[in-house]
Structures are given as structure tokens and as C-alpha cells.
Structure 1
Amino acid sequence: MGPSFSTDSSQVSTKLTIWESSLPMLVNHSAEPLPSPDGFFTTYNKEATHFRLHLQLPSARLLRHAFLLAEANNVRDNRGQILSTFGTVLKMDSTKKVVKKLSGEGHCSAEWLTSIGNEYSQIVTFVLTCEESTEKLEPMCRGVMERFRLANQPVPSILYVDRGCCRAQGPTAVETLFWSWVDSGTVVRLDIFHWIHRFDAAVRTESHSKYAVFKSALAGAVLAYNRADLELLIKAVRAKDPTALNAVTDEDVVRLFISREQLKRHVRRVTQGAQVMFRLTDLAIEELKGPAGLDKSGVSLFKTPAAIDEMWAAQQRHLECIQDPPDINMYRVARTTTINKVHVPYYKCLRGNNSLEGFHKALPNMIPESTPHRLSTASTPAAGSCSERLLMSPLMSCSGWNTCLARVQENRASFLLRTL
């Protein structure tokens, strides 16, 4: 006669509690599979209540605490990965977005994260400071120059910045920070994107209907498309339907059949020189100061003619420091793509701070919303000091960022070797 079970809910609950408490022991010492509580009770009594085991997961705070304690042992490896990163085209930029994610003892102890990246978008070094001044950035700059020297690496060809590129007399702040590199031939250049957006101070509003026209005119005054790359892209687009597109002019092919993304990825751009840039920029400003700069309501794009004239006069001294240095290729071939059976290079631009600003935009998402206040234990001394806790999250993020980009470069290199 088989065993009988009561349908009383209290007895059933008691038996289930005993079954749950003995489950770890049975799992560890029994080789036979255990029946689930549902199947165990319903086999002998159809009226028994169904129960399910609910395992309570650790809290997010506890998991984050355990993760940071484990990563504290990898601080030396992560630091070594960053210190072994070099480059020939460097970019320096600062942001406040990252320090807002700091908590605990490090909260409000820093205002800026300043980082230096290379032409592959990898992070060469970074520092957290309470202010963006020469005094606070000098140790980082001195350290990175010494690292290049000890590793027998050539000095960078270009250093892109968003400020401090030139002045009327004497060395600039950036030249003072990197005096050893500047004396050895490093050229300091202003990021073109920042130069163009400085004119926003004289614009009434970015929602003005002529704002995009003005920014496009400024970009066109600074940069011109490489003719050979453009002709190759036009040839690839025409190959889709030669009979129909041969009668279309090159200008109409670019306007109707080539997207902005294709122009960005497959056609290189070069600076046109200070004189051409001055003439085209002055022409665009004078044109938009008149009726061409009015929207449908008759509102001018600029706040006042005097405001845009003052801004243009202040920015003219940067015309030389936004030019590409001679004999330096500002693009690298990332891979080769095929458009209508025509091989077209896929370029990556080395100019400017865009790649570094992309990292600064992604970095806050890599850092948890709140960091546990107490990470120090006897077994993990690396997590004990406040400075280690402040740097741990950015350090892990920068190391992981560099590792992923290095793998991407390896995959692209192997792909190019296979296609040759």
C-alpha cells in the first residue's frame, strides 16, 4: 500500500519546508535526480496545492561589491595595459560627465576627467583633477612623455586639443605642458569641430532654419573632398545601372545617389589652406548677415551683426592651427568594401577629438550608478585606499575599451591580408 499524505495545507507546507531544507544535502550526496515538489505531491494527491521553489538572488549592491573586490586584484594588469598603449596622433580632451558617477568618500572630490587618446581611439592615459589647470595636468603630461622616452617610442606627430593651441606671444599652455615633445617636432592643432561651434555664441538659436546652412558653409570652407576618392565612389554608384546613370552628371550622382555616410566613410577630406578658408568663411558670414540669413518670420540667424563680426575677428587667429600638417596622412584604411562589385576603401579619420569625445560619452555608462562605500578587506588591500576606489571604475573601463579596440584592429588586419 502506498504512502498517504494529508491535504491539510499546514501539513503540506511543513513537509515542503523540510524538503527544501534537505535539498542542498541531497544534491551533494545523491547521484539520483530529485523529483520537483510539484511532481512529488501531485503524484500521490491530485488535490494538493502546487508549490514552487523561489531562490532569492543577491542584491545588486552585493553583486557590485563582490565584483569590485575581485577586480581590485586586477588593478596592476589593467594599469599595465593602459601604460603599454602609445600613438603618433594624440588627442587630449576633458569632461565632467564621469565624475558625477563617483560616490562614497570620492564624491565631490574631483571635477574633471582629462584623458589622452591615440589614432586608434585607445586611451593612452587619464587623470581625475579638481580643476582643469596647467598645475593639475602637469604630472600626467610629464609622466606620459617619460613613458614614451623609456619605451623608445617616437614623439607624436600631432596633438589635437580643444583650447590652448595658440596665443599672440610666448608659448601656449599646451606647449608648456608638452614642451619636450614640442621641441622635438610635435605640432599642436585645434580641433575643427570645436572651432566651428565657437560661432554658436553669436547665433541667436540653434533651432533657426538657417543654422544648419551656416554650419555646413563653415565646414565647406575648412575642408574639401579628395577628388580621386570621390570619382571612385561615383564610379561604384554608376556600376549599379550603367545605362541609366551614365547620362547623369557627377554633381547629380553625388546629390541624388550618394548618402552623407558614404561620403564620410569612403571619401577623404583635406584642409584648403588659411587664405581659401578666410575668403569662404567671410563670404558665408556676409551673405547670412543679409536677407539670406532670415527665417520665414524675418528673424536673423545672428544676434547682431556686431556679435558675429566680433566672433569672426577673434577666430581668425586660429586659421593656421586648424590646418593639416604637411606630409602627414590624416586617414588610415580600416578595410575595403565592395559597392556594386567595385572595391572602395573604408577610411577612418585621424583628425580631431571626435573619437575621444565618443569614449567620454560611453564611459559614464560603464560605471555603476553607485559604488559601495566600503571596499577594503584584509584579503584585498588594493581596494582599501580612497585613490584606488576612485580610479578603479575608470581604470577597468579604459582597459576594457583598449582591449576591445585592439581585437578589432587585429581582425581588420587579418581581413586586409586575406583580401590582398
Structure 2
Amino acid sequence: MDQPSLFPVICQEPPEPIHVPISRWLLTVYSRDILSRLDHIKASITSTFGSILKMDSTKKITKKLAGHGRGTALWLTSISNEVGQVLTSVLTVQEGPGLDRMVSGVMERYRQACVTAPVLLYVDCGCCVSEGESKLQTRFAQWPDIHIRLDIWHFMRRLAVGCTTDAHPLYTTFMGCLSACIFEWDAGDLSLLRQAKREQLRQEGVPALTDLLVDRRITKKELSQYCRRRTRGEEGTISLIEQLLQTLEGPKGRDLMGVPLLEQVRMEHIWRVQKRHVKCIQDVPGVQLYTVTGTTTTKGGVVLTRYRCARGSTSLESFHCHLNRFIPGTSANALNFQLYLLEGLNRWNQDRGTAVVTSKPSSLLTYAGDVVQCLVLESCLVLTTC
């Protein structure tokens, strides 16, 4: 740029482009890295236990199985604990007898580790039968004291089938009222949250504070974080659901165009069949479903405690939604399929374990157990030397 403008500017020739590895090479290196840590990954997964278990199956992930393994597995079934960590995840041809070896392996793991058997198991089907023992009770025969409960969200979805369409204006109201028929909020937690919200609104200068205004300003997220819930009992739940269905079968169950929310004949049949499962969705007396996360929040000068709920299989449903992200692309052969699944499952468990003790993400940028162990040993050595 310092040369006179009459002379041409001489620029240095650009360097030769660097050869970029192809995607197949990168996947090969990643697979070999997983194979080098396979023993640690398997040990980490098989060292996971829990007192409240959830079991669920999905067919979405098996569609990515390609090569010679295509069509050899139709179901992926997982068992997780109360904090969302996965104890085991297996591929089977069918959902019934194909799970016997998986369940036997989990029970044997508890026995060898001398860990107390879980007290509660949430499932999406097969919770009870009218006579004798269910298949799940027979499958978990080594744990005779375990309580098998139906996931409440699946129970609500079964009743929702009796609606004409989920696009009906009253559908959301129906699901909310159905939830209120099943659950009731803890009076002490709700009173404390109302007090905190009232003080917060008063500090913000909101005039004419009434109980109705305070309740409207409380969000669903605040309720789920700071308030505990419990089921209403079998008789109370049945009575409230029947009252709700009778109300919505009348004029109050129609939109402005006169379209009814409920298919009356179909809903009557569904409720007649699902009524016996109301007993299966009740909380087990004496089983603690809520744990304190260890963090508190101050709103309006009132200290609120955060709770984590272990009820239902929502965490396992979330895990299955993330399974497709564990396996890149649209297909993988049998070896890569299992490698990606193991690595993704191990990372999922580590993230859930970190979330139990802190609300902040982990400062470590690696999931390799040997690297983390080496870092811990070096840190301890430095502290000892100092």
C-alpha cells in the first residue's frame, strides 16, 4: 500500500488448501476412540442404581439400524432411575418375552452389588390384571415388594382418545381439569409461594393485590419448581373424573359452533375400561417422591425451596427423544449403532448426575473417564504438595 499508485500492487500467493478429512475418516476415528474406552463406559453404566425405576420402550431408534442388522430389532427398551440416569437399554425383537433377560440382568446386578431392591416401578402398560399376577409382577419375581404403577401421563392420554380431536378449543381445558382431578397441591408449599408472589408484586408496585390476581401471576413453572403434589386417592379421583365427564357431555362441552369435545359412546367405553387403573396411578404411601435440589430462591424476601419429582416416566421419554441425536445421520451398521448408543447413554448419565448436585453445567469439557480421573489425581497431588 506504500507504493505509488502507478505501479501494480504485488500480493503474496495464497497457500495451498489444507486437505480436509472426509466424514468417513472422522467417524472411524471417533469409533476407535469409543472402543478404547469401552470397558470404562460399560463399567460406568452397569454401576448405576436407583430406588425408583421407570421402564419404557420405543420403535423410533431401530429405524436407523442398517446393514446386516436391519430388521433384527424392532424395539429399544430402557430402564432409568429417579434422577433420569439409564441403568440399561437393550434392543429386542418383541416387547414381551424379549425383556426377560434384561430384567434378570438388572436384578442380578442389584444382588451382586448388595444394593437394596427398588421400591417403585413406573410403566406405560401391563401394570395390573383383574385376577392373579401380571406379567410384570412375574418378571420381577425376585423383587416381591416392588410396587408397579402406571405412568399418569399415559393414563391421561388414554382418556384423551375419547375426544373428537385434540384441536378442539376445550381440549387443553379438559386435560388441565383431568390433571386437577388426579393431583392436589401441597397446602403449605402453595401458601408459601403465594406469600412470596404477593410480596414480589408489592415490591414491583402492583396496586390492588387480591388473591385472584396473585394466583394468576403464579406461573406453571413456579408451581412445578416450588410446590409438591400428591394424588387424591382412588375414590376421590374416580368421583371427580366422573363429574368432569358428565359436565363436558352437556352443553358446556361444546364450542361456539356446537361441536362436542367428547365422543360420548367412545368415552363411556374408555372410562369403563380405564376405571380400574385409577388404583394404579396413586402414590405409594411412605415412598418419598420429592427431593430437595440443594438450591433455594428468594422471592419478595421469602425463601423458596426447589424440589425435583421422581414420579412418572417423563425423564425416560426425554431420553428416548434424544436417542436419534446420539446416532448421527440416517443409518448406521450394527457395530457403529451400538458404539454410538453406548457413548450417548454414558454422556446422558453423566449429565444427569451433574444436574443432581448443581444447576450449573459441568466445567469439564470431556466425557472420557480416564482423563477425568487423571485430572482429579493431579489436582489432589498439587493440593497435597501445597
Which bracket does the TM-score occupy, shorter chain normalised?
A: 0.7 to 0.9
Alpha-carbon spacing, 1:347–1:230, altered in 2? closer, same or farther (3 Å): same
The 10-residue stretch of structure 1 (145-154 or 64-73) with the greater mean CA deviation from structure 2:
64-73
Is 2:77 the counterpart of 1:114? yes
Question: Which residue is equivalent to 2:243?
Answer: 283
Structure 2 counterparts to residues 80-99 of structure 1, below 5 A: 80-99=43-62
Question: Which residue is equivalent to 2:213?
Answer: 252
In structure 2, C-alpha distance between the alignment counterparts of 1:274 and 1:48, rounded to whole Å: 83
CA contact (8 A) 2:225 2:306 kept: yes
Question: Which residue is equivalent to 2:258?
Answer: 298
Alpha-carbon spacing, 1:395–1:254, altered in 2? closer, same or farther (3 Å): same
2:26 counterpart (49, 63, 68): 63
Question: Which residue is equivalent to 1:79?
Answer: 42
2:230 counterpart (263, 270, 295): 270
In structure 2, C-alpha distance between the alignment counterparts of 1:258 and 1:149, rounded to whole Å: 46
The 10-residue stretch of structure 1 (87-96 or 389-398) with the greater mean CA deviation from structure 2:
389-398
- The one-letter code sitting in structure 2 at the alignment partner of 1:208 is H
In structure 2, C-alpha distance between the alignment counterparts of 1:214 and 1:344, rounded to whole Å: 30
Query: SS of the residue aligned with 1:319?
Result: helix
- 1:47: Cα distance to partner? 4.6
Question: Which residue is equivalent to 1:145?
Answer: 107
- The one-letter code sitting in structure 2 at the alignment partner of 1:325 is V
2:191 counterpart (231, 234, 246): 231
The 10-residue stretch of structure 1 (318-327 or 337-346) with the greater mean CA deviation from structure 2:
337-346
CA contact (8 A) 2:297 2:305 kept: yes
TM-score normalized by the length of structure 1: 0.80
CA contact (8 A) 2:183 2:231 kept: yes
TM-score normalized by the length of structure 2: 0.86
- 1:246: Cα distance to partner? 9.4
- 1:214: Cα distance to partner? 1.1
Alpha-carbon spacing, 1:282–1:370, altered in 2? closer, same or farther (3 Å): closer
Number of aligned residue pairs: 352
Query: SS of the residue aligned with 1:240?
Result: helix
**Structure 1: runs of 5+ lacking an equivalent:** 1-43, 374-385, 414-420
Question: Which residue is equivalent to 1:26?
Answer: none
In structure 2, C-alpha distance between the alignment counterparts of 1:245 and 1:279, rounded to whole Å: 40
CA contact (8 A) 2:57 2:75 kept: yes
Detail structure 1 runs of 4+ shifted over 6 Å in the superposition: 243-246
Question: Which residue is equivalent to 2:356?
Answer: 409
Identical residues among aligned pairs (%): 35
Structure 2 counterparts to residues 121-136 of structure 1, below 5 A: 121-133=84-96, 135-136=97-98
Query: SS of the residue aligned with 1:108?
Result: coil
In structure 2, C-alpha distance between the alignment counterparts of 1:109 and 1:225, rounded to whole Å: 46
CA contact (8 A) 1:101 1:368 kept: no
Deviations 1:97-151 (A, max 9, x none): 2212222322222111100000110001111011111x10000000100100111
- What's the RMSD between the two structures over aligned residues? 2.1
- The one-letter code sitting in structure 1 at the alignment partner of 2:356 is Q
The 10-residue stretch of structure 1 (66-75 or 117-126) with the greater mean CA deviation from structure 2:
66-75
Question: Which residue is equivalent to 1:394?
Answer: 341
Is 2:169 the counterpart of 1:169? no
Alpha-carbon spacing, 1:312–1:53, altered in 2? closer, same or farther (3 Å): same
CA contact (8 A) 1:65 1:372 kept: no
Query: SS of the residue aligned with 1:285?
Result: helix
Question: Which residue is equivalent to 1:316?
Answer: 275
Query: SS of the residue aligned with 2:230?
Result: strand
- 1:251: Cα distance to partner? 3.8
Question: Which residue is equivalent to 1:180?
Answer: 142
In structure 2, C-alpha distance between the alignment counterparts of 1:389 and 1:52, rounded to whole Å: 37
The 10-residue stretch of structure 1 (78-87 or 334-343) with the greater mean CA deviation from structure 2:
334-343
The 10-residue stretch of structure 1 (112-121 or 168-177) with the greater mean CA deviation from structure 2:
168-177
Structure 2 counterparts to residues 364-375 of structure 1, below 5 A: 364-370=324-330, 373=333
CA contact (8 A) 1:238 1:246 kept: no
Alpha-carbon spacing, 1:197–1:162, altered in 2? closer, same or farther (3 Å): same
Deviations 1:366-419 (A, max 9, x none): 21115665xxxxxxxxxxxx5x54422111111111112222334369xxxxxx
Query: SS of the residue aligned with 2:121?
Result: strand
- 1:357: Cα distance to partner? 0.4
- The one-letter code sitting in structure 1 at the alignment partner of 2:139 is L
- 1:241: Cα distance to partner? 4.3
Is 2:302 the counterpart of 1:342? yes
CA contact (8 A) 1:162 1:194 kept: yes
The 10-residue stretch of structure 1 (391-400 or 140-149) with the greater mean CA deviation from structure 2:
391-400
Query: SS of the residue aligned with 1:202?
Result: coil
In structure 2, C-alpha distance between the alignment counterparts of 1:63 and 1:372, rounded to whole Å: 14
In structure 1, C-alpha distance between the alignment counterparts of 2:123 and 2:279, rounded to whole Å: 14
Alpha-carbon spacing, 1:105–1:74, altered in 2? closer, same or farther (3 Å): farther
In structure 2, C-alpha distance between the alignment counterparts of 1:372 and 1:314, rounded to whole Å: 42
- 1:312: Cα distance to partner? 0.7
- The one-letter code sitting in structure 1 at the alignment partner of 2:342 is L
